[in-house]
Homo-oligomer: A and B are copies of this chain.
Amino acid sequence: MAEFDDNPSSVQDSLQQVTELLLRRRQLLSQRPDVSHPRQVEELLDKQDSTALQLKLDQLHPADVAYILEAMPLDERLIVWDLIKADRDGDILLEVSDAVRETLIAHMDERELVAATGQLDTDEIADLAPDLPREVMQDVFRALSVEEREQLRAAMSYPEDAVGALMDFDMITVRDDITVEVVLRYLRRLDEMPDHTDQLFVVDRQEHLKGLLPVNRLLVTDPDIVVAAVMGQEYVKFQPDEKAQDAALAFERYDLVSAPVVDADDKLIGRVTVNTVVDFIREETDSEKLSAGGLREEEDLFASVWSSVRNRWTWLAINLVTAFIASRVIGAFEGSIGKLVALAALMPIIAGIGGNSGNQTITMIVRALALGQINSSSARKLFVKEIGVSLINGLIWGGVVGLFAFFIYHSWQLGLVMTGAMFLNLLLAALMGVTIPLVMHKLGRDPAVGSSVLITAITDSGGFFIFLGLATVFLVGR
């Protein structure tokens, strides 16, 4: 196993130690302004302290170094990056987030980048490729064998959310007409087996996949038995253009460690392993969380102010447009508000609770759609259920806000209008909360993106319109 500390929570201790070493280094540098040859002293100090730092960094797992780099402001991050041995650069670049990777790559020259890829497998180079300058990729290609070039081209040809992008090529294949004994002898000739090899892939001469041979079954099987007799013939396999999301669900459901990837002719072209799937799941849920929070993409924690502004402006702009629309809806009722100012104080309640309730419905539906659990017959049942929920909520919360309005403004008519508006806006929220994601799904778009903004816009403007409209008709209009 790798040479890293055996306690996972020690990563944070390591971060602390590295930060302290950096701090000490800076203090030493600043405390000696009176020395005659400051340059030389600086260099010396630099060297001493860097050695301690370097020792610490060398002991850490690439993933831990990546973690530390991400937790550091840009200037310190680059000092640490320079201290890392060149032969670990590639592994660490693979582990850091896209945003931080950009800052590190921008700091490296062409030669360093080519060297960094030297230690990597072709599927790993493919992961880095989008961030590498074109000239670097040309040099990288030149350094590869013909087979590797083909693998790299294949791996780079799939979109990020396809199985092909998760695939690696580290699989061991065997024929089905040999005995377990021969397989064991073959394996023993290897120095080591690829990570996550829980099964061997049984193929024919044309590389067509015929079965899977779990390594653990090898160990408990009589060596004289032929592979064909012990291999599994029912198994999960993927095609490279399938959705990575589907593969992730299959790994979860069937508790897989690895699975074969085949082409349309059932020829084995690669495999997917659980560690890649775990990373994919984490990245995916991460990016969902970020977009739910209104961020366009993952943001380097210490990104420059300007790049943060750019990362956030899209959602702010969209929300501004919906806010402008809501504002004009209110503007249309300025006459009523002028006559009954209480309306201005009460209207945000109707809009706010409507948005809240609509988002609850949408969360449910989006989740069920993502799992593929909704078909046309169950959709009708869901409508009925959500409308039922909104009717009950309308009575309960409508009653509460009606009482609130009555106690503050001592007008039972105003209270009734509040209750009615709340009731109607919750009904609107339920209808739209089911309809929006279903329609987006039908149109082939991801209902997780934008549904929430849309429902909030509708329950805001709708809520203002319903409440001010009812008030105009029943309270001020006549």
Q: Any chain B CB within 8 A of the CB of A327?
A: yes
Instruction: Report the stretch among A37-45, A112-120, A136-144, A248-256 that lies at the interface.
Output: A248-256
Task: Give the residue of B191, B215, B275, B357 whose beta carbon is less than 8 angstroms from that of A316.
Answer: B357
Q: Any chain B CB within 8 A of the CB of A475?
A: no
Q: Any chain B CB within 8 A of the CB of A159?
A: no
Q: Any chain B CB within 8 A of the CB of A362?
A: yes
Contact B324 A334 (CB under 8 A): no
Contact B254 A2 (CB under 8 A): yes
Instruction: Report the stretch among A101-109, A123-131, A343-351 that lies at the interface.
Output: A343-351
Q: How far is the CA of A320 from the CA of B352 in the complex (A)?
A: 8
- Chain B residues contacting A161 (CB-CB under 8 Å) are none
- Chain B residues contacting A389 (CB-CB under 8 Å) are 305, 308-309, 312
| Interface pairs A-B: 6 shortest CB-CB | A293-B363, A8-B250, A71-B373, A344-B344, A255-B275, A305-B388
12 contacts between A and B (CB under 8 A): A1-B214, A9-B246, A15-B373, A64-B253, A190-B220, A286-B367, A312-B357, A312-B360, A323-B349, A327-B346, A344-B344, A352-B460
Contact B12 A372 (CB under 8 A): yes
- Chain B residues contacting A55 (CB-CB under 8 Å) are none
Q: Any chain B CB within 8 A of the CB of A28?
A: no
Contact A274 B285 (CB under 8 A): no
Instruction: Report the stretch among A79-87, A147-155, A231-239 that lies at the interface.
Output: A231-239
Q: How far is the CA of A347 from the CA of B331 in the complex (A)?
A: 11
Contact A334 B327 (CB under 8 A): no
Q: How far is the CA of A118 from the CA of B67 in the complex (A)?
A: 44
- Chain B residues contacting A349 (CB-CB under 8 Å) are 320, 323-324, 326-327
What residue of chain B has the Cβ atom nearest to residue A422's Cβ? B320
Q: How far is the CA of A407 from the CA of B67 in the complex (A)?
A: 49
What residue of chain B has the Cβ atom nearest to residue A275's Cβ? B255
Q: How far is the CA of A315 from the CA of B374 in the complex (A)?
A: 26
Task: Give the residue of B1, B71, B219 whose beta carbon is less than 8 angstroms from that of A234.
Answer: B1
Q: How far is the CA of A130 from the CA of B251 in the complex (A)?
A: 27
| Binary B-proximity of A299-332 (CB < 8 A = 1, otherwise 0) | 1011101101100110110011011101110110
Contact A367 B257 (CB under 8 A): no
What residue of chain B has the Cβ atom nearest to residue A343's Cβ? B344
- Chain B residues contacting A179 (CB-CB under 8 Å) are none
Residues of A contacting B: mostly: helix
Known: A308-B389, A327-B348; 10 extra A-B contacts, CB below 8 A, are: A3-B234, A11-B372, A67-B373, A193-B216, A218-B219, A281-B282, A289-B363, A301-B373, A319-B352, A348-B460
| Binary B-proximity of A275-307 (CB < 8 A = 1, otherwise 0) | 101110110011011101111000101110110
Contact B301 A364 (CB under 8 A): yes
Contact B212 A1 (CB under 8 A): yes
Q: Any chain B CB within 8 A of the CB of A173?
A: no
Q: Any chain B CB within 8 A of the CB of A6?
A: yes
- Chain B residues contacting A331 (CB-CB under 8 Å) are 342, 345, 408
Q: Any chain B CB within 8 A of the CB of A208?
A: no
Known: A8-B253, A190-B220, A364-B299. A345 touches B328 (CB 8 A): yes
- Chain B residues contacting A196 (CB-CB under 8 Å) are 198, 255, 257
Contact A8 B367 (CB under 8 A): no
Contact B253 A294 (CB under 8 A): no
Task: Give the residue of B73, B278, B359 whose beta carbon is less than 8 angstroms from that of A281.
Answer: B278
Contact A326 B348 (CB under 8 A): yes
Shortest A33–chain B CB gap in Å is 23
Q: Any chain B CB within 8 A of the CB of A63?
A: yes
